[in-house]
């Protein structure tokens, strides 16, 4: 009976590990590595925006931040540097994934984790649509509402 349980467990594990589509596996491979968030901009509305991204820091603090994605265990981090003291400098650990969206663009999702790789905020996470992805550039987008109007936050990354 124990042997059958082990075989069943191995089979279930294989099914889950093979459940990612070929497209998602390729996106994960392309995302793997170190990226610089070169630019944060807004689309869909005019005006000047002051926003806090990922419940962490103002948008301008993220420009020049370094993002690291490790494909084999779905962990990584981003680091905000601050020479002025206006931004909360430091490294934040994350667990990330690519979620397939059959009706549109796939999504890069992440959650904050601690040094032991445990979720910090439970079910709270963040998602951005993958607008474009190559071996050297990545553009992500998240949609938000501002005074009832749809606005997109656009994140442009360059691979190191």
| Cβ pair 67, 78 in contact under 8 A | yes
d(CA 96, CA 92): 12
Q: Measured in whole angstroms, how far is the alpha carbon of residue 113 from the centre of its chain? A: 13
Q: Which tens digit of pLDDT belongs to each residue from 75-85?
A: 999 999 987 77
d(CA 151, CA 59): 14
As a whole number of Å, the end-to-end CA separation of the chain is: 51
Q: Which tens digit of pLDDT belongs to each residue from 103-144?
A: 778 999 999 999 999 999 888 899 999 999 999 999 999 988
């Amino acid at each position: 009976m124990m042997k059958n349980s082990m075989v069943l467990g191995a089979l279930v594990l294989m099914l889950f590990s093979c459940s990612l589509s070929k497209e998602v596996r390729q996106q994960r491979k392309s995302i793997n590595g170190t990226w610089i968030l070169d630019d944060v901009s807004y689309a869909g509305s005019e005006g000047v925006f002051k926003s806090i991204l990922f419940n962490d820091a103002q948008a301008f603090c993220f420009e020049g931040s370094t993002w690291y994605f490790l494909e084999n265990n779905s962990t990584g981090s981003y680091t905000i540097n601050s020479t002025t003291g206006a931004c909360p400098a430091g490294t934040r650990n994350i667990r990330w994934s690519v979620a397939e969206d059959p009706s549109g663009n796939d999504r890069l999702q992440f959650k904050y984790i601690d040094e032991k790789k445990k979720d910090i905020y439970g079910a709270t996470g963040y998602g951005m649509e993958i607008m474009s992805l190559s071996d050297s550039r990545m553009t992500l987008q998240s949609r938000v509402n501002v005074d009832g109007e749809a606005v997109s936050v656009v994140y442009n990354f360059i691979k190191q």
